[in-house]
Structure 1
């Protein structure tokens, strides 16, 4: 066992010098190595110091000197009552500019500037034989000709002398200066970013920035923030930190073309940091911040604008009187200025966005007011039109068939215009909050079934089936009757427009505390990417097959707004190519409705007036869609058609020039056909696709086409005609409600021979068709001459 202990004790082999009979007390080996300080200690004449010759040093001193020289931690030793100073290489950075003179000097001489802080601690260690310990203690040292802020963690430990008592002290040090300063700078930058994140105006950003700077009064004893007005060529105060805005060194406004104590013009123009010295010479003391001394220098930094229209500024910062303004300090202040610039830019962007939103809201309000006023103005002349028209239709016996037909066209389109005007008026009232709803307890099943049945004739005439499944409900539902009519009729009208075969189902069911109206169709369906936009105002699905391209895009959005007024929701599900299902959910009872808008029950009025407008419009969509095109004569072509001549070579017979007219509005087809039929052989079709098929067999001399049509619009038809060598020179005139030079240019660039804007008069239409037919005939005669 003893042998094992001996082996454990002798784990580290003894070096030769350790086996020598020569002791450290009689040798200078304890001063071996130690780098620069080892050499300096060895070469110094210690006999001229209170320590005396090295050979006579006590063993305890030699021992701790050896420990010090071999340590990589900054260590110094104070020996004897005067605490004569010895230190190692790592400690040179701490003693700084006092090196090498500090070697062999009393501690009170070396550290005279901090003796009030360290002297009492050294006395405790030396006189009381008690160790001391301090962590990150602030010490204002003067090592390079100026006072500087430093932080050290250190301990004073007494060292026993050879004769008993305390011979001296040993001190191990850790420099915390960079960590302490770095931590508070990072903290300020984080605070600055967090505090200004919610700034909504430039003024708020500056105020919050200035307030945040007060979190680090060590590095920014005071600060002033100015904004630049390039138009006025001046800077104006936007915030202060640690200094009053009434201080004589804090001007409220400064013109950039005048001399000033602060170099505003220089910094704004050159975008570079400038340092202002000799603040002590300025009358009026500057604030001290976290120190007992006012700054004697200040840094003036540019706040760079964001982009070409960003807000520029200037930041003036009092400098820490106990730090040198080096690259590290400059870099920190530039980060501060950059963060302030970012907060100003963010606030400016938010403010500009808010102003844009307010401007758009104002435009929206103006638009709403315009729609409201125009809708009201439209209703008066429409009333004066509808009254006489209906009176005339009532006198059927006095009208010829042609007069009755024209009057019916007037009546239908006046009612259609009234429907559109009412929709715009409804929207303007909803947006302005002026809707005067009257919620009544209603037999919703009967009411809904009657409304749906008004479409039966049109749906069945289209070869489809209408299923109405509205059993009686157990609970009362409160609705505004006129609004509910518009909800049901708009959904049915939409379903009919985009359902070309199959069936449309209207069902009503109570589901818990709700009642659900479901309008389901087997129509063309809605692309998945369009579903989120179906209830947006004026949104239309491009390229969808339907019975007509006409429409304002406000029907479904009006449904949503009216449903919301009932405290309900509307949703849509659809599979493209298979149909759509619209679901309206309303709460039962009246607890969710405004009390002042609830009325008593009364007998349901007839819905015929409103429903007939929708149903008649649906019936008109069917006109001309049963076949390829209307009333095409039976002709046999031998393939020798001469374009532009209006002739088929069938023996020696000649015919009137042929005009093919494509428009999805049946009344427009009838009107244009009637205008032209006295001079031309006119055939009409409901869309571009049918027109393209008709061109192959009818061989027209000219094509008139509306621009906006379902299945194939006018531009697509024009493109197809120009791509075919046989129809490349066929005259084509585009008709459109889009007015303006740009629309006309677009049509001509697409290859049209002319562009006619609706509404047009008969003389203009006849003149243009005649002119283009004559030009086409001249071209043909030239080609075949």
Structure 2
């Protein structure tokens, strides 16, 4: 990569030497089979490729000549499940782990050891300045959702990545490499952008009554998303199939591809198949190089043609032509987005047509009433036959009005159902953290239990009690996080679970959480099917339902948890959106509480809606349960009677696979050392616990109650290898400032920040 090398800065060694000594991970049996198994650890694809690679033919040379920093970094890279890559040397030779392979696309596996500039030549102008910061100044970089046009599937693709470049120091103390942790956020960014377009269009169409107002709102809102909608054309069909241009965005009327009228044959856009009902959508290639490009530097290569289907009509009322983002594949998600836009527009056009028809009918009716009154005054002496005819006409008009009112009521019911569904799909972004003192308390209990376990080896009863207590501490920490971390939807980790055994294992936790005044009964049917579900999330959901039930019973009553097999047929699925008929595992939580009033039944799953007094609840429990079950492909149903109680049923899809073993992650034996550790912690119990644990592990331990005391210990000249400091402490000197001053005095000291309050981490 001549001419593209990045020189390492002279200050890099001093600025980036603060890192803890990394212990190499234990080798698996498979990892020990190939050459250099001590460097390329693990049995993943990338570990095997690295072991088989001819390193002697590369500028890096054979691994036995590599610096220890490079070896340790590669071990960390290969044992991590997070997307990571690293580069080494002046050519920034490219290393990456298994989790990073999807980002490379068809560049994998030839990317290994390739110079970064050659590998990512299409985005080199974006990443080179950031790599220069690392190599020349020894500083880390950070980018959130950065747009990168990657050439990884044979075409330039719009992608977004959140990543950080960090310097890697060689054995000489100079920056010789770069380490990158990355998360690809393309789906999130594109999805949020498209969802915003749908919301904007729905908002604009909400107040539009006439066809002209609907088209004006569409023209205004569709123009906002120039990434996914470089240009749009909306044509409305006439009775003979001719299509007239109703609105356009991103393209001038009169353009060769935007004629005012389209014939069924030989027009700029082939709409014949859509008009005749033979096609539900059409992808039309774009050959005109003068097409507008929207937010991009190149014009769309194709356009999607989607019919505008009216309510209860056989023929489409029109067609929407959408220029396709040239840097995104036109996949099912893109097609669904375009169809949703077309559906909103078609629904509003149909409603406007009905509204205008109602206005015309109302005018006709008013005219008829006026004529009737005039006829009654002028023809009071007409015979009975004429009176009968007038009466007949009046009844016909009354019937027409009655039908109109019924249609309006049905339409309002449908619109209310749609609004409810949209509310249920819009869960907000929520955040929270666990209180500092509570985590400190758990740390003290956990640390002392671990110390105690060393003195009771061989005493089975005592060891069992300590393990039970440690499990309770772990579950308490997990429960605190689950109850407060409602915010974003985290990726699920589903396992094949027998929900009956799962509920039985929760029995002790539920009884402790609900109190002695609540009688807990579990009813588990025989032959219970397995389901694919995230164990942590279903535990959180059941705990939420149980606590809600306890509050509804005012802390006293009977809680029943049932589990059984259920079959939801086609008729039931037809009455509920987003539900597939089939076999499900049903979990029901019933209480003997006050029940739910009918007028608020439709709102119980809405975020932040709560009937509890202020300060007694967040209103997020049921909405979290609803979102988790829906995300897992399931269904939620509520049955309630005021004064009698409530039953909430969760339907989870059945799977035929065997049940997974849900291992309780037990702590691995800790290995100690002989280094000197300075523990800085203001909480006396936490400090003494940490000191005792480190001393048990063989370390020489010094302690200080605040940052100023710790600085005095360092200034005393006593050797310190590791500074173990709390993040949040009282006093004028903050922990980051302590770390900086310590590094000035002891350049090689390692710093470990700890905190019981993750928001400050």
User: Which TM-score band (shorter chain)?
Assistant: 0.3 to 0.5
Higher relative contact order (CA 8 A, sep 6+): 2
TM-score (norm 1): 0.43
